[in-house]
Structure 1
Amino acid sequence: MGMERLKEIAPFVREALHHTARVAKFLCFVHVCSTYLCGVAMLTGPSMLPTFNHGNIVLTETITKRLGRVGSGDVVVVRRPDEPRNVVCKRIKAVNGDAVSYLSDAETSSERETVVVPKGHLWVEGDNTHNSRDSRQFGAVPYAMVESRVFFVVWPPKDFRLIGSKVS
């Protein structure tokens, strides 16, 4: 009786395993693509206004970072040094060895501070300098904390465009 029942369900088990293998292969493909090629990110907050609006969905790529070709003007997704679980989207203002001058507190004084970016680090700032938490607060970001470079806005359709490097 047991062997007959096993023979009856064998085709269903075989089909289930076949579909499970397909799903596993697809998930592996998605993982490899998002880790080594490109990914999708939804941007929130006002720090990158007017370049990006709250809710923009962008495409990011990791190849440029892996080749060591991320530089001034590129928009990148980085892990925050003070909160490594969080990622933020910022523009690279300076790379290792560059001197950066910025207002220490734009709201209360006009005193400027100058910092030389250490080797292996990047200086990142939001395009909306009056409403951005960036390297001016948490310092230079180690290059290893760069996740990817933003290269395309895909949503909403009215903002659909390629993102280049804007050095300012």
Structure 2
Amino acid sequence: MKEKKTKNETWEWIKALLIAFGLAAIIRVFLFTPIVVDGISMMPTLSDGDRMVVNKIGYTIGKPNRFDIVVFHAPEKKDYIKRIIGLPGDEVEYIDDVLYVNGKAFDEPYLDQYKAEIPDSPLTEDFKLEDKIQSKTIPEGHVFVLGDNRRKSKDSRHIGVISIDEIIGNTKIVFWPIKDFGIVN
């Protein structure tokens, strides 16, 4: 009798572990996944080595928004983290370190720290979208992304617009290191 009880208990533990691993796999594949920031292209917002949670379902039920921080498959077979600056149909240009989308100037408060450190020269060089992607507007189904560390970022200025289908998800939560734990904008 005791042997049967031990076998039942063992089987219950095995089932519980299989269910737990199965749920974890489903959550990771379809809903959320961790990612490690690799490099300095998103400084000062994100630092090299920050660990973040990527929301994979956000764009399956919604659309990307301007200034979302997204993770996407880059042409180099690597995942990049950048900020969406332009959406499909937008005209984007920088003049005197100011972002203009469809002729309207936008504030970028996440760049204030770097701009204060280099007051005599622009953080983002002047450009028109047409100079970077040979189109006046961002094509349907694509976004234009930039890293916050504009002088040291390989982004849409270099690799072109990003297909929305290549976006893994958006990210706002840093969970490691503990000192940086929280939501980023």
* TM class, shorter-length: 0.7 to 0.9
Distance 1:110 1:41, change over 3 A: closer
Secondary structure class of the residue paired with 1:154? strand
Partners in 2 of 1:73 and 1:53 — Cα distance?
A: 18
Secondary structure class of the residue paired with 1:151? strand
TM-score under structure 2 length normalisation: 0.70
Residue pairs, 1:129-148, within 5 angstroms = 129-148=150-169
Partners in 2 of 1:92 and 1:46 — Cα distance?
A: 17
Asked if the contact 1:102–1:136 (Cα under 8 Å) also holds between the matched residues in 2, the reply is no
Q: Greater Rg, structure 1 or structure 2?
A: 1
Which residue of structure 2 aligns with residue 124 of structure 1?
Answer: 145
Count of residue pairs brought into register by the alignment? 152
Which residue of structure 2 aligns with residue 91 of structure 1?
Answer: 83
TM-score under structure 1 length normalisation: 0.76
RMSD between superposed Cα atoms in Å = 2.9
Which residue of structure 2 aligns with residue 3 of structure 1?
Answer: none
- 1:35 is aligned to 2:29: yes
Identical counterparts, % of pairs: 26
Which deviates further from its counterpart, 94-103 or 34-43? 94-103
Residue pairs, 1:1-168, within 5 angstroms = 18-80=12-74, 82-84=75-77, 86-101=78-93, 112=128, 113=131, 115=135, 116-164=137-185
Deviation at 1:102, TM superposition (A): 5.7
The gaps in structure 1 that reach 5 residues or longer are 1-8
Deviation at 1:18, TM superposition (A): 4.8
**Matched AA of 2:83:** R
Distance 1:153 1:31, change over 3 A: same
